Structure 1
Amino acid sequence: MTNLKPVAAQKAEPGGSSPLAAYPLLRSLALYRTIPVLFTATFALFCVIHLSLALQQWLVGRALDAVNSGKAATRLADGTIDFSVAWHWTALLVGLAAGRGVLQYISGMCSIRASQALLSTLRERILVQVQTLHLGYHWQHGMGEMITRTTRDADKLRDALVAFWRQTVETALVVTAAMGLLFWYDPLLGLVPFLLTLLGFWIFVRQTDTLVVLDRNVSDAYDQVNQDLSEGIGGVRVIKSFRLEQGRIRKFRGHVGFFLDQSRHALAWCSSRIPIPQAVVALGHVWIMGYGAHLVAAGKLGVGELVSALLIATTLVFRVETVGRVMRIFADARASAARIWDLLDQQPAIVGGSEALPEGALGFRLDAVRLLAPGGETAILDDCSMILEPGRIVALVGATGSGKSSLAALLPRLADVSGGAVSIGSEAIGWHDVRGLDLSGLRRRVHVVPQDIFLFSDTLAANLRAAAPEADDSALVEALRLAGAGELLERLPDGLETRIGDRGVTLSGGQRQRLCLARALLAAPDILVLDDATSALDAVTERTVLRNIRALRAAHGGPMTVLLITSKLSSVLLADRSAVLANGRIAAAGRHEDLLLDPLYRDLLGIDRAAA
């Protein structure tokens, strides 16, 4: 038997060991590696567009100087006016503006394509990670939190990655070009606006930490809204059955109100703080106007150059205003990026091995299995041992909360033992510890039909083919017949192509159970665990289904092994043997007739002593 250390006992290495772990927004920039061509093209376009801005403003100053000096339009000897210079400057400025406009359109389209590509990549990674993580992580984190990270947080991070161009590339290029032109006119003319711009950016940076805290508060409040909404939709039957509508509405209204309060607080803080850096940078206008007028009077600066300098100062103010909006996006995205990377950095607690199960009929064996509840304090199973030989049907009974479903989850490694071992195989082909087996191969051959029935909001055929994507229609019909759902197919308006609604809401409980059974039988697993999966079936249908299962051969040629977790006497009577789970271990096992002497067994099945 393979002796492996339980994966659950291994200490997961935090994904935050990366040098950039403390900077989740910077880590996110690595996503641009997925679109290298688009990234390079967009970067080049931004460089050309914003470096040409200084050229455009310099040409405006030169054109104004030509007008001021009378060179733009000259009177000829015959009395006519020569506008050739004026037309020259006009054509040059219009051509440059038109060229920049075309490039801005192209860069905008590239930026949009890049943003959508980044968002698709990000959401795909989140979905893959969510599907990879063990069930314990999903139990600890609600559906609302997962939805928030996939939607709102991903959108905010996408916006920040796109705004990255306007924050780092555009701003750096615009400030460099503008300051370079001012310093070229006169070093002192550019020094004061430069210092004021640095001061404005420093104030923005100082405000970022507060913005991050505010956005985290808003995100947490939004999680509550999403969680409450998910529960309200998923539990609509319970809500209606117990007439809880008004209470749920009040609770949801409270969560929405708290979210709005947090959003208003964040918005009010931003509205009162963000304009401060803009006012600081705008003081550069005063300096350029005063000192620039002095230079014009001294003949060191032309009027057109002064106008150009003022245009540059206006550009800086608008740039800082844009930076203010983008900084808030960045602050929001820092919190969102941290939440996303916290999810993406989670190490799967269950990792498959490389061993493949040999061909042949399979059973399973539990050797002194110990399983702890989430948190690692209470033992669900303790020193639990059991053997189920291939081809047998064994009924497992136990009190509510005794750990029957937890035991079932160990076989396909939906959960891992804290001690002992779970093995798959037989005496003929040997026993193989599930921790050394390839997960995909293991779960193809060991299938659990859980007590919480789930059907996708899709067609009947698509739900069945989840177990066997290549199955043809005749195989689907046969699986429905084996599960006692043949007449259901005849009642559906569009047959196999009938859409069955969200989680099978259009079907009864018994119909949903039979469809889930049909889906499991279509996969023809070697080991089938029915975790209270026949509770909604009547005795006749249940007997028919179990008889069909007993006659069914597994995909690998051997008889199908069935663990029937149940509390129904009618189900137990159809099994070869029975086992009793109590106090975390198998307390008794044997034929039904022999176990009737056990008072616990009789109590669990509701059999009085006289009847026994």
Structure 2
Amino acid sequence: MSKTYPLLRCLALYREMPWRFALTATLFAVGNLSMAWQQWLLGRAIHDVELGKAVVAHSDGTLDYSVALGWLAILVAIAFGRGVVQYLSGLMALIIGQDLLFILRERIFSQVQHLDLAYHREHGVGGMVTRTTRDADKLRDALVNFWRQVFETALLIIATVGMLCWYSPLLGLVPLVITLAGMAILVSQTDHLVTLDRAVGQAYDEVNQNLTEGVSGVRVIKAFSLEPSRIADFSNQVNAFAFHSRQALAYACSHIPLPQIIIALSHVWVLAYGAHLIGKGELNLGEFIASVLLANTLVLRVEGIGRVMQVFADARASAARIWELLDAKPGIISGTEKLPQGELGVHLRDVGLHPAAQDNAILQHCSLDINPGEIVALVGTTGSGKSTLLSLLPRLLDADEGTITIGSDALGWKNIKQLDTTDLRRRVHVVPQESFLFSDTLAANMRLAKPDASDVEILEALRLASAEDVLRRLEYGLDTRIGDRGITLSGGQRQRICLARALLSNASILGLDDATSALDATTERRIIDNLRELKQSQGRGLSLLIVSSKLSTVLLADKVALLAQGQIVAVGTHQQLAQHNSIYRELMGVADGH
């Protein structure tokens, strides 16, 4: 049922705030029940006027207004009280609506952080942003309208129909049947509205994705003078979004009037049947007027549901999209074991990875040994699976077959699927080629790896990454804000800062996914020499797996692993591979034996 009616699951979120929910529900109940009571009292007052009791003429010609003034005071007091209650109930509804919006967005963001990279690659940034913004906002609107339209209307139907039945059973039951029939038609139309709004949501995803790429890729766009074509593409997507939105609105506008007309017939019934009852003497004038007022209130309130039916249809589609995300199960489940303290190595045995949407395997039968403290270069043509293999080590992706173990002969070896992922990723760190820095200070970006790191530790990490000159050029040193994605820094500076951040985490195994591609050979050699000296200077050895296509980088490694068509086809030193492997010689551009 929860998957069929995703909007009901959102209503269940009210249990996060039980006292406010109970208070708001009570205020709405008091406000709507008092409306029926107010109209019933108005009928009694009119009946007193009809009988000549409201204003009494005495024999001396004076008029006694005490009864009329009493009724006036009672009705004014009830109206004032209802106004206060309605204000408080509306305010509470808005407050808990905002609280629910916060809860939803927090859960979405948390889920996005926990889902694995495979899910993100499949769904893209635009869909995530849309669910967090547009879809969550639509749910908030629906939840607020739930109080004002659905809950209030249900209470009002109970109160008004009950009061009308008090006067005469048929006077109340017929409007109830008519109202329920009209509402059933309204509800039956929402399925198509939901389908239309799903198309609107998908179009909005594409708009969001294009906008995100247009902002983050502005350098590429300007470099190739792509502004006109990008603007044209964006305009086309906005027009598609507007087209689907107009379709949804047109359907709502053309189909909602029919049930509203049916619901309005209950007003006609009360007028006609009420007049009949007056003629038979079974209903007085005050009760008739009260019945008409009750019917009028009922019709207007139910018609209000029709006017917001588009909101509920939109919210139902948005709720389905949000719960699709929240119900997604992470493909990578954390183990519970911890890695032992000390130098660590890696063993890969017949590792394979087969994406569900592709026939060809990305990796197959990959076996490799990285000893503790060893530097291994991983080389291969573009698309051979180097980055994918590197992502397996901290379990950013999971292998479909084979085993990966981490440890040493002295400390023992552990299967990474049995390890706690937080501990694993603290000890096994991968620095991607894309150097991502947040729009914050240099110190804040560094402390992402180690929140309690001192300035001395940060400076040492920058020294190891040969980034002291970057720090010297910054106006405010560690407190300098480095802009969105590190835009104020060059590519090489960003790479060294990201490498320093990884070193600050005290990782035992470090993967560099072409993370030194923007560095010159001298700087690169200085960094590798610094890392080799870690054992002597700090007493800890660091195992390195470096993905690179630069010969200068490969020459710094202890051994080289050659990856071709998803398989590790050769492992050895540079001299061995250059002498015996033609694929390696062609890839690195070296002569036989060099």
TM-score normalised by structure 2 residue count:
0.96
User: Is 2:540 aligned against 1:547?
Assistant: no
Instruction: Work out whether residues 353 and 435 of structure 1, in 8 Å CA contact, stay in contact via their aligned partners in 2.
Output: yes
User: Is 2:585 aligned against 1:602?
Assistant: yes
Counterpart CA distance in 2 for 1:77 and 1:518 is 103
User: Is 2:225 aligned against 1:243?
Assistant: yes
Counterpart CA distance in 2 for 1:292 and 1:592 is 100
Instruction: Work out whether residues 578 and 591 of structure 2, in 8 Å CA contact, stay in contact via their aligned partners in 1.
Output: no
- When residues 451 and 554 of structure 1 are mapped into structure 2, their CA distance, relative to the original with a 3 A threshold, is farther
User: Is 2:17 aligned against 1:35?
Assistant: yes
**After the TM superposition, which residues 388-403 of structure 1 pair with which residues of structure 2 at under 5 Å, given as runs?**
388-403=370-385
Counterpart CA distance in 2 for 1:210 and 1:424 is 54
User: Is 2:291 aligned against 1:323?
Assistant: no
- When residues 555 and 87 of structure 1 are mapped into structure 2, their CA distance, relative to the original with a 3 A threshold, is farther
Superposed CA deviations along residues 278-302 of structure 1, whole A, max 9, x for unmatched, are: 2222222222222222322333222
Counterpart CA distance in 2 for 1:552 and 1:78 is 114
| Residue of structure 1 equivalent to 2:320 | 338
SS at match of 2:96: helix
| Residue of structure 2 equivalent to 1:164 | 146
| Residue of structure 2 equivalent to 1:56 | 38
Instruction: Work out whether residues 526 and 554 of structure 1, in 8 Å CA contact, stay in contact via their aligned partners in 2.
Output: no
User: Is 2:515 aligned against 1:533?
Assistant: yes
Unaligned runs of 5+ in 1: 1-18
Moved more, 542-551 or 174-183: 542-551
User: Is 2:457 aligned against 1:484?
Assistant: no
Counterpart CA distance in 2 for 1:187 and 1:91 is 31
Offset of residue 326 of structure 1 = 3.2
SS at match of 1:607: coil
User: Among 471, 476, 488, which residue is 1:506 paired with?
Assistant: 488
The alignment yields a C-alpha RMSD, in angstroms, of: 1.8
- When residues 553 and 469 of structure 1 are mapped into structure 2, their CA distance, relative to the original with a 3 A threshold, is farther
Instruction: Work out whether residues 526 and 555 of structure 1, in 8 Å CA contact, stay in contact via their aligned partners in 2.
Output: no
The letter for the 1-side match of 2:337 is E
**After the TM superposition, which residues 69-88 of structure 1 pair with which residues of structure 2 at under 5 Å, given as runs?**
69-88=51-70
Higher relative contact order (CA 8 A, sep 6+): 1
**After the TM superposition, which residues 225-240 of structure 1 pair with which residues of structure 2 at under 5 Å, given as runs?**
225-240=207-222
User: Is 2:433 aligned against 1:451?
Assistant: yes
Counterpart CA distance in 1 for 2:283 and 2:537 is 89
Instruction: Work out whether residues 353 and 362 of structure 2, in 8 Å CA contact, stay in contact via their aligned partners in 1.
Output: yes
**After the TM superposition, which residues 141-540 of structure 1 pair with which residues of structure 2 at under 5 Å, given as runs?**
141-375=123-357, 377-540=359-522
Superposed CA deviations along residues 170-209 of structure 1, whole A, max 9, x for unmatched, are: 1111011111111111222223322221221111122111
The letter for the 2-side match of 1:451 is Q
Instruction: Work out whether residues 524 and 553 of structure 1, in 8 Å CA contact, stay in contact via their aligned partners in 2.
Output: no
SS at match of 1:368: strand
Offset of residue 586 of structure 1 = 2.3
Counterpart CA distance in 1 for 2:504 and 2:122 is 32
The letter for the 2-side match of 1:606 is G
Counterpart CA distance in 2 for 1:378 and 1:463 is 39
Offset of residue 77 of structure 1 = 3.7
Superposed CA deviations along residues 416-475 of structure 1, whole A, max 9, x for unmatched, are: 111111110111111111011111110100000011221112222211111011112222
Counterpart CA distance in 1 for 2:536 and 2:83 is 67
**After the TM superposition, which residues 566-585 of structure 1 pair with which residues of structure 2 at under 5 Å, given as runs?**
566-585=548-567
Instruction: Work out whether residues 135 and 414 of structure 1, in 8 Å CA contact, stay in contact via their aligned partners in 2.
Output: yes
| Residue of structure 2 equivalent to 1:560 | 542
Counterpart CA distance in 2 for 1:54 and 1:253 is 52
Superposed CA deviations along residues 471-529 of structure 1, whole A, max 9, x for unmatched, are: 12222222222212212222222322222222112221111111111110111100001
The letter for the 1-side match of 2:297 is T
Moved more, 293-302 or 479-488: 293-302
| Residue of structure 1 equivalent to 2:93 | 111
Instruction: Work out whether residues 249 and 310 of structure 2, in 8 Å CA contact, stay in contact via their aligned partners in 1.
Output: no
SS at match of 1:141: helix
The letter for the 2-side match of 1:227 is Q
Offset of residue 374 of structure 1 = 4.5
Offset of residue 234 of structure 1 = 1.8
SS at match of 1:379: coil
Offset of residue 70 of structure 1 = 2.3
Offset of residue 332 of structure 1 = 1.4
Instruction: Work out whether residues 534 and 540 of structure 2, in 8 Å CA contact, stay in contact via their aligned partners in 1.
Output: no
Q: How many residues align?
A: 593
Over the matched positions of the two proteins, sequence identity in percent amounts to 58
- When residues 414 and 308 of structure 1 are mapped into structure 2, their CA distance, relative to the original with a 3 A threshold, is same
- When residues 554 and 197 of structure 1 are mapped into structure 2, their CA distance, relative to the original with a 3 A threshold, is farther
Unaligned runs of 5+ in 2: none
Counterpart CA distance in 1 for 2:98 and 2:166 is 41
Counterpart CA distance in 1 for 2:304 and 2:261 is 13
SS at match of 1:451: coil
Counterpart CA distance in 2 for 1:558 and 1:480 is 17
SS at match of 2:362: strand
Counterpart CA distance in 1 for 2:517 and 2:55 is 96
Offset of residue 229 of structure 1 = 0.9
The letter for the 1-side match of 2:578 is L
The letter for the 1-side match of 2:589 is G
Moved more, 175-184 or 325-334: 325-334
